[in-house]
Amino acid sequence: MSTPVLDVRGLAFAYPDGHQALFGVDLHVHQGERVALLGPNGAGKTTLVHHLNGILTGGAGSVAVSGLPVEKKNLKEIRRRVGVVFQDPDDQLFMPTVREDVAFGPRNLGLRRAELDGVVMAALDRVGMAAYVDRPPHHLSFGQRRRVAVATVLAMNPSILVLDEPSSNLDPASRRELAEILVSLDITLLMVTHDLPYALQLCERSIVLSDGVVAADGPTYDVLTDEALMRAHRLELPFGFDPAATR
């Protein structure tokens, strides 16, 4: 089998106050997979994500992205390969215009002029925001800002796109539009979410993280229809949602 895009082995981590967040996580994601990372609050999902691009290091175990270890000497390349889209797009957008926000990362990689502009416009086109290239981000709707945040990551040509609660605070139309965009992207995806219908819609595979360990790993439909598993790990489907009705 090919080298995993994401290869996490025996990852354990405790915060300085002594709180143990991860207890030996093994996680492997291969090229082209779309994987949902599920679990209750406090399960360790954010801690795990922060290890994927080196925000957190120093615990036991290892993390590699397309074979490159997540280590201090490799962080510049790791952060290009692992594109993290934050839950709040306002944490990601800080320049006067959409163009400048999307150009920020590629410019730091040395791109200039026509090449840089081509990368910016291609990324914005992939998320349906090319017409807003010269607009100030704060003049956009929340859903539009989230799409621009995705473009800032796509402009770096990452190996894996990591989305933190991508559907949160979106109205139904914006939620649907983002789903259509994500389906259209030819990229490996790891999506952290409490939105279980969104996980079923977008990800064929789901991993349940609970109390710092992987509690389940399998087809999303099978995970969401395992009542005992769902109950044991405080996962609940929205009222009236039946996964079987989607088949």
148 pLDDT more than 80:
yes
The domains of the chain are located at 6-240
User: How far is Cα 194 from Cα 201, in angstroms, rounded to an integer?
Assistant: 13
pLDDT digits (tens, 9 = 90+) for 149-182: 999 999 999 999 999 999 999 999 999 999 999 9
35 pLDDT more than 90:
yes
**Which tokens sit at 182?**
């994500």
The residue behind tokens 């939105």 is 195
User: How far is Cα 123 from Cα 233, in angstroms, rounded to an integer?
Assistant: 37
Tell me what the mean pLDDT of segment 73-80 comes to.
Answer: 94
The amino acid that residue 2 corresponds to is: S
User: How far is Cα 52 from Cα 8, in angstroms, rounded to an integer?
Assistant: 9
User: How far is Cα 8 from Cα 98, in angstroms, rounded to an integer?
Assistant: 34
pLDDT digits (tens, 9 = 90+) for 88-128: 999 999 999 999 999 999 999 899 999 999 999 999 999 99
User: Do residues 124 and 147 touch, judged by C-beta distance below 8 A?
Assistant: no
pTM of the model: 0.94
First CA to last CA across the chain, in angstroms? 30
The β-bridge relationship of strands 34-38 and 205-210 is parallel
Fold held by 6-240: Rossmann fold (3.40.50)
List the alpha helices (DSSP H) in 31-129: 45-52, 75-81, 98-108, 113-126
User: How far is Cα 18 from Cα 82, in angstroms, rounded to an integer?
Assistant: 28
User: How far is Cα 69 from Cα 74, in angstroms, rounded to an integer?
Assistant: 7
Please report which confidence band the pLDDT of residue 1 belongs to, taking 50, 70 and 90 as the band edges: low
- What does the mean pLDDT of the chain come to? 95
User: How far is Cα 245 from Cα 196, in angstroms, rounded to an integer?
Assistant: 14
